[in-house]
Amino acid sequence: MPRTISLLSRQAPLASAEHQRATLTALPLAREFGDAAQAAGAWPLRPHAIATLQINVGKLCNQTCRHCHVDAGPDRQEMMSRETMALCLRALASTTIPAVDITGGAPELNPHFRWLVEQATAMGRHVMDRCNLTVLTTAGQADLPEFFARHRVEVVASLPHYRATNTDRQRGDGVYEKSIAALKRLNEAGYGDGRSRLRLVLVTNPVGAYLPPSQASLEAEWKRELLRLHGVAFDALYCITNMPISRYLEWLIESDNLAAYMERLVTAFNPSTVSGLMCRDTLSVGWDGLLYDCDFNQMLDLGVDAASARHIRDFDPAALATRSIVVGRHCFGCTAGAGSSCGGSLAS
């Protein structure tokens, strides 16, 4: 059963990004990420054109999952203001960045979330919402499926497993039942039927200290089982590797799995994943407007290496295009096995 409050509220040392980075740095690893990237012919790691603006609108969440890399929860207050959202929209308007990926916490709990979606879709951008599903069952959110459908939002929903036990073990008692109810509501609104072009993606990550299995084979199994068990349909399954940061890092330490897990990630480094790393075509904005190469770097307080463009108010595509991506040992989580990103596996 997950803890009920965040690292921050517990005043746990791992609430500090610096402490997390130091914990990873202290491990006796066989190689550094930069050496691995260099051997793969991709050093320094440079960005391609920005294809996705990923906006993290805050750490407030109705859940407190054990593996959360954001240290989100009902006790977190950090929230993007409408003014900062307006700066994100201004940046979007100055570019042709085609996609906006809204994440949190539970992004829908930000009071300006729907406004942001409306503005971004009115600009013709494809909007994705990282949804934990149970938020649809919270006060005032029951109409979210219809809101999403109206704005043709792609719903990228997290569900650890198609069975109850594994899901509730990672996310808390009763989460599975609520998640299935939310999926049925999304199906009713036209999501996942393959005809309405309302895309519903499920995201799964391992419950323990291992790498995700093959995405393609799991997707077929999940589609079959969710349909059989609950009559639920969806379009695609993304398998994501757990990153050794925040509450998952705490769990690795407490379960004495950290050294072995990191070794597993390093050993499984796959050079063919480097070209598709999400940091190469995504720019991540924190709740306070600071810019990062990805959501993971955001949680580790590793801002972009572009002195003149560290905040969305100073958004400068030219300066950002020439930056080097900031990496660390956590990056092995993106390159292990089939690779991992917000869009699932990177290699087959």
Task: List residues near ligand SF4 by CB under 6 A.
Answer: 61, 63-65, 68, 70, 72-73, 104-106, 132, 158, 277-279, 293-294, 296-297, 325, 327, 330-331, 334
Measured CA to CA, the distance from residue 69 to residue 292 in angstroms comes to: 15
1 CB-side CA count, 13 A? 4
Give the nearest distance from C-beta 63 to ligand SF4 in angstroms: 4
Of 37 and 97, the one with the shorter C-beta distance to ligand SF4 is 37
Contacts 24+ apart (CB under 8 A), 140-143: 141/108, 142/185
CB atoms within 10 A of CB 142: 12
Of 57 and 127, the one with the shorter C-beta distance to ligand SF4 is 57
Of 77 and 124, the one with the shorter C-beta distance to ligand SF4 is 77
Give the nearest distance from C-beta 282 to ligand SF4 in angstroms: 8
Q: What helix, strand, coil percent values describe the chain, rounded to 5? A: 40, 15, 45
Name which of 130, 84, 90, 88 is nearest 109 in CA terms: 130
Of 10 and 193, the one with the shorter C-beta distance to ligand SF4 is 10
Give the nearest distance from C-beta 11 to ligand SF4 in angstroms: 18
Give the nearest distance from C-beta 268 to ligand SF4 in angstroms: 14
Of 89 and 237, the one with the shorter C-beta distance to ligand SF4 is 237
Give the nearest distance from C-beta 220 to ligand SF4 in angstroms: 25
Measured CA to CA, the distance from residue 152 to residue 155 in angstroms comes to: 9
Give the nearest distance from C-beta 331 to ligand SF4 in angstroms: 3
Q: By the 8 A CB rule, do 34 and 40 touch?
A: no
Name which of 100, 79, 78 is nearest 89 in CA terms: 100
**Start-to-end C-alpha separation, the chain:** 33
Of 119 and 234, the one with the shorter C-beta distance to ligand SF4 is 234
